[in-house]
Amino acid sequence: MNDPRELLSWSFGSINLPYEKIFEGYYSDKTHIDCQQKYGNMIKDKFQILSFSGAQNEGWNNEMMWAHYGGMHSGVCLEFEEDILLDNLATKYPEIEYHLENVSYSNNNKSPWINWQPNKSEEENMSDILGYLVKDMTLTKSIFWEKEDERRLVCKNVDKQLFIPIQKALRTVYLGVTFNKNGKEMVESVFRSLTGRCNLSIMVYQHNRFERWGMRLDSTGQIITCDFDDLT
């Protein structure tokens, strides 16, 4: 994560939050700010986020994303079938609550507050807090990130690291325009390891834009390029 909000510690103003009980034996006037950050990070650690591009556009042809996150065009881009990926998540982790939404971009300087309910347990309060913070803290970014065109899968109230199975959900693997600099052997290795599991495409830059070519085997078993639509 490179968004400052995600990189730095979280802390919130609060109403009725019993720091002295949550941090019994540690909390004092001198440690108040530290306890604010500790509890803020307890909230932060309850979220796990999987980020995608292509919220409003196709995603695979986002030049900026290739430059920033695709190894300066030498890496890969993974395209998933959204419904199948969510089915995989729900099957493996049926207890997990999640949100899949497009990120909103705004320079709103709103600072969320925590409202603690004394009649509820610490676990119930945490669940409520995660519910009303999910939009402001995980699904909103400043307008400077708008070109990422991000869509996020946010899992909340998580106590363990999640690993979502991608079998059957992986639709296409795109190789960057300079991926072939990794060597012919690497291209062939990637192709043969993915054959039959998903489509494989190589990015080309022509007419001042990205285009995608398909990759397949010819009748002699050699890897050749083709029209991407011929893969489906």
pLDDT of residue 1: 62
DSSP 162-205: -----TTTEEEEEEPTTGGGG-HHHHHHHHHHHTTTSEEEEEEE
How far, in whole angstroms, is CA 3 from its chain's centroid?
12
State the pLDDT at residue 23.
Answer: 97
pLDDT band at 119 (very low <50, low <70, confident <90, very high): very high
One-letter identity of residue 70? G
Mean pLDDT confidence for 23-52: 96
Model confidence, pTM: 0.90
pLDDT, tens digit (0-9, with 9 covering 90-100), for 127-151: 999 999 999 999 999 999 999 999 9
Q: What is the mean pLDDT of residues 82-90?
A: 97
pLDDT at residue 210 is higher than 80: yes
What whole-number distance in Å separates Cα of residue 20 and Cα of residue 122?
A: 13
171 backbone dihedrals φ, ψ, rounded to 5°: -95, -50
Longest CA–CA separation in the chain, Å? 76
Question: 59 pLDDT exceeds 90?
Answer: yes
pLDDT above 90 coverage of the chain, percent:
84
What is residue 137's predicted lDDT score, i.e. its pLDDT? 94
DSSP state of 156: E
The pLDDT value given to residue 167:
85
Write down the mean pLDDT value for the chain: 93
The pLDDT tens digits of the residues spanning 179-200 come to 988 888 898 899 989 988 999 9
Report the DSSP beta bridge partners of residue 215: 225
pLDDT at 101: 96
